[in-house]
Amino acid sequence: MELKDAKAHNNQHELVAHRGFGLIRGIHDPEEVDQISELHIRDSDLFVVTYPKSGTIWMQQILLLLEAKGDVTAISKPDLNSNAGLMPWIEVNDNRQAFITAPSPRMRVTHLQHHFMPRPLSQKKGKVIYVARNPKDVLVSYFHFHKVANMLETPKDFDDFFKKFMRGDVFGGSWFEHIKTWYSHKDDMNMLFMTYEEMIQDLQSAVERICSLLGLELTDEELANVVKHSTFNNMKKIPQASYEQVPSYLLNHNQGTFMRKGTIGDWKNHFTVAQDQSFDHIYHNEMKDFPLSFIWDIE
Ligand code: A3P
């Protein structure tokens, strides 16, 4: 089934449980997704892995610009309504087949859990960038995105969505499971682990680290252009990067913008004291043995 057919399923919003993960009916086909693990991987392949709302599209923009040596006009394609045409989701229907014959470097994004991914990645073939974001901001960003995205259920209210997110009853599953599983496989793979917050705090350094992972050599001016065209304010002005031209049967642009706030700590404008306490309690239990800490506030 093609992506455009998702339109016919807009009102179903149905997550289909498949091997411990919820796929979206009409967007993902369980049989296709199962074949991803069999894909042959080239050393030049790169997968950007994220839990939804963690900076996927931002990383997409940075990588496309790095490959184009900072030349934003080289990645502007009038026939594309978003950067996903240049760096697609591997799990979306019909994209796996195109990956097989695509020229190098093949760069793809994914929200899938680790057990679905091409096996050679765990033998250090290809590369992975995992982008993590503090989960309170992920929750808030995802709440707003559920209002915009037609393939996701419109939330009843923030509290209802809060409970669903904490149960992992959303596309992407449990945030805790996603990050813990991927992180635990970090050393099997050529993985660069980055956080959204470090990208906010020092985009230049983040871009340099990505550049060195890819083994690219850019001049200072080219790097400066990559940074310039991937800031929040500049991406907002580029329709292909800001997703504002994604067809309305997928994103209902009247309900909000994809490039929403792009900051750290917006959860403080949404969480009640009780929600915050409940979140912290669950977070502490889930993450007590996990070696990473997050930045929760820009101050
Ligand atoms: P907010 O909703 O908090 O604004 P994803 O691409 O994984 O769906 O993540 C979307 C989030 O990344 C949104 O967060 C969006 O605004 C933010 N984002 C996208 N581009 C960004 C940029 N250049 N700088 C900072 N945040 C960015």
Decide: 126 and 41 in contact? Cβ < 8 Å: yes
pLDDT in the model for residue 7: 45
Domain boundaries, the chain: 3-134+171-249
pLDDT in the model for residue 13: 72
Q: Which of 259, 264, 271 maximizes ligand 1 atoms within 8 Å of its Cβ, making it the mutation to test the pocket?
A: 259
Q: Which residue's CA is the nearest one to ligand 1's atom 12?
A: 55
Neighbours of 294 (CB within 10 A): 17
The pLDDT tens digits of the residues spanning 152-192 come to 999 999 999 999 999 999 999 999 999 999 999 999 999 99
13, 18, 40, 111: the active-site residue: 111
Alpha-carbon distance of 181 to 123, in angstroms, equals 17
pLDDT in the model for residue 77: 86
Dihedrals phi, psi of 49, to nearest 5 degrees? -110, 130
Alpha-carbon distance of 170 to 172, in angstroms, equals 6
Cα dihedral 148, 154, 158, 164 in deg (nearest 10) = -120
Q: Which helix (H) or strand (E) holds 15?
A: strand 15-18
The second-level CATH assignment, the architecture, of 3-134+171-249 is: 3-Layer(aba) Sandwich (3.40)
User: 101: CA distance to ligand 1 center in Å?
Assistant: 30
pLDDT in the model for residue 12: 58
Alpha-carbon distance of 219 to 29, in angstroms, equals 43
Alpha-carbon distance of 214 to 48, in angstroms, equals 12
Closest atom of ligand 1 to 259 CA is 16
Pocket-forming residues, ligand 1, beta carbon under 6 Å: 50, 52-58, 137, 141, 144, 230-232, 235, 259-262, 266
User: 148: CA distance to ligand 1 center in Å?
Assistant: 14
Respond yes or no: is residue 270 known to be catalytic.
no
Angle at 188 between CA 185 and CA 189, to 5 degrees: 95
| Rounded average pLDDT per 10-residue block, the chain, 299 residues | 45 84 95 97 98 98 97 90 93 95 97 98 97 98 96 96 97 97 96 98 98 96 98 94 89 91 97 98 96 90
Beta bridge partners of 109: 48, 89
